[in-house]
Amino acid sequence: MGLADLSRAVWGVALLCAPRRLLPTLRTPADTSAVTTARVLGARHLLQALATAVRPTRTVRVLGMAVDGTHALTAIVVATCDRRRQVPALIETGLAAAWIATAWRQTR
């Protein structure tokens, strides 16, 4: 497992297991909707990290880049439309962009 996959797994576990502690540090309310979203997103990140670790093929990385790209675009929309969730949405956008760049480099 590479550093990018490990960082994704750690971030996923944090979102999945401790969203009520994590969300206030990101300047967002830890309401039911945000906690549920964080847990679902954490599970997705964890599963993607595990899938990439188990099968680090070009195809898996390209599919992961597509998922991350879709996620980044969605997060930009959230950041634009919901000021209360702007900070975590922009953090997710930055993380997705970093993971896309890493996967891109690994597929070349």
Residue pLDDT, tens place only, 59-82 = 999 999 999 999 999 999 999 999
Taking residues 25-54, report their average pLDDT: 93
Angle, CA 102 vertex, CA 100 and CA 4 arms, to 5°: 105
pTM of the model: 0.87
Report the C-alpha gap between 86 and 89 in whole angstroms: 5
pLDDT confidence band for 48 (50 / 70 / 90): very high
User: Domain coordinates of the chain in residue numbers?
Assistant: 3-107
